[in-house]
Structure 1
Amino acid sequence: MPIFHQHKDDPITEHQTRKFTRRAIVLGSTAAALAGCATTAQSPEQTAILAEPTPVAPLMYAALPTEQFPVPAVDISQIDPRFWRQDIDYETNEKTGTLIVDTPNKYLYHVHSGGRATRYGIGVGREGFAWAGRAVVAYKRKWPRWTPPDSMVARQPELRPYSVANGGMDPGLRNPLGARALYIHENGVDTLYRLHGTPQANSIGKAVSSGCIRLLNQDVIHLHDTVTDGSSIVVIPDPSVTPLLVGSA
C-alpha cells in the first residue's frame, strides 16, 4: 500500500483540511436545525390529539319558537351531560305516574310502567327553606304568574312590586317560574312548593336555585305535557340543601 507523507507546511493540505472542517461544522449545524424543526412540527399534531370534542346539542334542547314567549335553545355547554333528560331503567315501588324528587342527587323521576322512568336534571333551592314528603300535583299552569309570599317580600323588599297585593309578576322568560309550573298540595293545602322552569342552564345539577325545584324550560314543558293533575309526588329531603318556597300564583 502506498504511503503518503504530509508536510506540515504543505499549503494544499492545510487548505483542504480547513475546507473539510468548515463543511463538517456547516453540516452539523444544519442537521441540528433540521432536528429542531422536526420536534416543533410534532406539537400541532399532539395538540390535535388532545383536543376535547365539541358536544352536539340534543334536538330536545333546541329553540321553541312557537311558544307564547319563544324559548331559546339551551346552551348545553353549561350542563353536565348526566343531567340531560333521558329515559332510563328505574326500579321503584311507587306507582306509574308518580314524580320522585331526589333532592340530594339533583334528579327528578317520572315513573313509567315496566321498570322505566324519565329522568330530569334539576336545580335545588337554598338551605333553610324546606318542604319534603308526599303530596299531589294539584294543577299545572302554562306561562304562570309569580307571586312571592309576604314572608319572602319581607326578606327581600325589592320583590314588593310582585307581591300578592300588587298582582304578582307577569309571565315571560324573566319570570322565575319559567314556561310552566306544577303546584303541589298536601291534604288539600297548598305547600307553596313548585316544580317550575328556568332559562338558567348553569343552575341545573346545583344548589343555586332561588325557586323550589327548577328544570330547563324545555324539560318542564315536556314534564307538564306528560303529568296529569292529581299525580302523586314524593320529595326526598337533603339535610344540607332544602327547597326554597317560591310563593303562590
Structure 2
Amino acid sequence: MRKISLSFLLFICILFIGNSCSTGSDPEDVIDDVFAEPVEVCLNLQNVFNDLSMNINGIVMHNLEFEDDTITKDVEDCLDALVYRDEETLALDSIILDFGSSDCDSNGGSFEGEVVVEPLNDALTDFDVRLSDFYAGDYEITGTIEFQITGETAGDDFAISLSDAEFMDDDSLVYSVSSLIGTYTFIEDEEDDDDYTDDIFDFTVSMSGETSDGIAFYLESESDLTYAYSCENIIGGDAVFTLEDVSEGEVDYGGGSTDYDCDTKVSVSIEGATIHVYL
C-alpha cells in the first residue's frame, strides 16, 4: 500500500503556497486539514456498528428461547423487542428490535428504525440481520449483516460482519464500508448474575472502506479491544487507522478499566501529534 507522510504533505504545502497550508505550517494544522475528519468519522462508524452488535447480542441472543411476544427485561422503554414464532411449530421466525422514529438510546447507541434478526438454521447459531429505515445518530445505514454464535452459549462468544454498506449523513455525504468484521469473546460478568448489562468482552476488528472523497481507509485492531456493557463503550485496546496515500495513526482506546476508561475519549497519534476523538 503506497503511503505519503504528513511531513511530505507539509513540504508540498509550503512549496506551492508559501509559508502555510490552510491554517498554518504547524504539523497539527496539516493533520486537521487532511487526517482528523476521516479518522473521526471512521472511528465513529465502527463504534456505531459495535453498539449495534452489542444490542443484538445482549437483547436478542439472550432471549432465543423466550416464549412471550415482547422482551422487556434489560430493554429501554423506547425500544420494542418483538418475538415472532411459527404458529404451528413455535420455531423462532425472527426477533425485531424496533427503535421507533426518534432517537432511542440503547447500549451506547442512538438508533431509529428496525433491526430484523432471522435465524438461518435450526440450531440457532447463524442469523441474517436486516436494517429497515435504520438510522444511527447522524447516519442512515444500509448493508448486509451476518451474526454467528461461535461459543457454546448464546450471548457469549460471537462474530458479526457488515458488507457493502453505506453510511450517509445529513449532508448526503456517503462513507462506504466494503467490509467490517468483529470477533467477540466473553471475558467476565462483573456482578456474576444473569443480566448481560455488566458483561465485558474482548474483541478484534477489521474495517475497510472509502471516504466521501473516494479515499480508501482501514482500521485494524493491534491488540484485543475491550467493551463493557456497564460503560456502554469501548474502554481499552489499540488499533491502527490508515488513510491510503496519506499516513497512518496509532489509536488508543484506553486501559480497559471500568473505573477510569468510560469517558468515550480515544487518542490518535500521528506524525508526532495527538488528536482526540469522542465516540
Q: Of Structure 1 and Structure 2, which has the larger fraction of its residues in helix?
A: 1
Which range, TM-score by smaller chain? under 0.3
Relative contact order, higher structure (CA 8 A, sep 6+): 1
- Which is higher, the Rg of structure 1 or of structure 2? 1
TM-score (norm 1): 0.23
TM-score (norm 2): 0.21
